[in-house]
Amino acid sequence: MKAVGPGDVVAAASLPGALPVPWDAITALRQQVAADIDALRKERRAAGTPLGGQDLEEAVRGRVRARVAEWAQQWALSHPPLAGEDLERVRIEVFNLMFLAGALQRVLDRPGVEDVLIDGEWMYIDSHSRPRERVRSPFSTPGQAVEWVNQMAAASGHGERQLSYATARVEFDLPDGSRVAATLLTEDVVIAIRRHVLERAGLAELVQWGAVDSVLAAFLSSAVKAGLSMIIAGDMASGKTTLMRALGREVPARERLATLESEPELRLNFDDPGAHAHVLAFRTREGNGEREATGQVTLADLVPVSLRYKATRVMVGEVRGEEAVAMLEAMIAGGAGSMCTLHAKDPESVVDRLMVPLARAGLSDQAAYRLIAAAVDLIVYVDRIDETDQGGQEHRFVTHVWETAGRGEGGGVALSPVFAPREEAGEERGVPTRTPMSERRMRKLERTGFHRGWMTQYPHGQWQPMRRTGGAA
């Protein structure tokens, strides 16, 4: 395989849709258009016909065309005139800076882009099943990067939180739902953008992508419909949130589902609400004022709050701290079928990893084990194999499903493997183990359409071939 060398590092200018003019010109045009639109809004309000919706977008497009045409005449006095294609790129960039993500929109629009990180003069692009790209940042100075952050934050409704040395980190959403985190706590300005490219993926799509097979998909779908509570664990970027989002789509339409997150990643916004559960999306709130805790709302605070709004089950984006106790108690006290994700480096460490926040909350080991055993029905582990740097693909898939079986002999939580890799057959993904489930839970699954015979009928599952580096399946 060819080694990567300096020649593989390209500039952002070589990316599709690159800007033919300096960034300063774009921001100046954006400011002129913004001033024009502010004046037009005042006129329309005074006339009793407020500007909004489609009218606003058309007005912006019109002012962009006029301002760029005026600017292009001045530009041609000291530069080669811009071709029609280049002028259109300028118009698109100014419009994007008003409504979308400005200088980064052309990168975010590329198929498969999942994460973008700008660190000083470099930009790193992570795309699904592709090696990481390292290109030049679209911003030539730190000031330009900070200006972009603050313009996007203001457009998102978070203009009161501007990135500066007094407020050295900000977080907000872009119009397409991507999450932005920016900071000055590093040597250079760092901007991280996380895209949610699989927002609308259901279990059927996960089967197509090889994250689950049809047997696992049927099992997990029935487990959700039967109201079994579960923890979805895995390492970073293994697909935990994607799987839980797909399972959220399996919650029956008659129920009310509360999602609790510090960052909006689940985004269970259904096109047809009548076919899915009613979703209440709760968000944490950072403290403000001189005392950091003033106005602060944590995940632990949100768990009991959500139940007061008649939520039949709760989904927590990721359990990290004291919300673990509240989450598990909610599973016992009426939130049957609730779910959460948990960061764990390997399958064997899931319970130990959950013990950490429980211990921080003051629970003894025995109390914590009792709480886990009583609250959790299933633990699902998602793994990831990244072979993109070897010319291969990135694989995300479920490897294990355990059923909790009360207290173990050593005082811990007894786990019974329902799905696990069949290593002797070279299968790294989860297949039925033929270990019997508790009869009570199996009957719940059967009432939602699952057939227990599938566990023995498909001992190797129904996985699609996984192409590993070197052509191995």
CA distance 434 to 455: 6
pLDDT tens by residue, 204-239: 999 988 999 999 999 999 999 999 999 999 998 888
Residue type present at position 472: A
Spatial separation of the C-alpha atoms in residues 120 and 191, rounded to whole Å: 9
The β-bridge partners of 342 are 233
Q: Is the pLDDT of residue 348 over 70?
A: yes
Most trustworthy range by pLDDT among 197-206, 223-232, 238-247: 223-232
Both tokens of 65, joined, read 């065309």
Q: Which helix (H) or strand (E) holds 314?
A: strand 313-316
Among 58, 73, 65, residue whose Cα is nearest residue 90 = 65
Q: Dihedral of the CA atoms 340, 346, 348, 352 (nearest 10)?
A: -60
Q: Determine the pLDDT at residue 267.
A: 77
The pTM for the full model equals 0.73
* Alpha carbon distance 317, 310 (integer Å): 19
Assign 39 a pLDDT band (cuts: 50, 70, 90).
confident
Please give the distance of CA 91 from its chain centroid, rounded to a whole number: 30
- Has residue 290 got a pLDDT over 70? no
Query: Cα–Cα distance between 339 and 356 in angstroms, integer?
Result: 18
- Lowest mean pLDDT, pick from 125-129, 204-208, 347-351: 125-129
Higher pLDDT, 202 or 216: 216
- Residue 121 CA to residue 137 CA, distance in Å, equals 5
CB 402 within 8 A of CB 430: no
Instruction: Tell me the CB-side half-sphere exposure of residue 81, using CA atoms within 13 A.
Output: 5
A 10 A CB-CB count for 3 gives 5
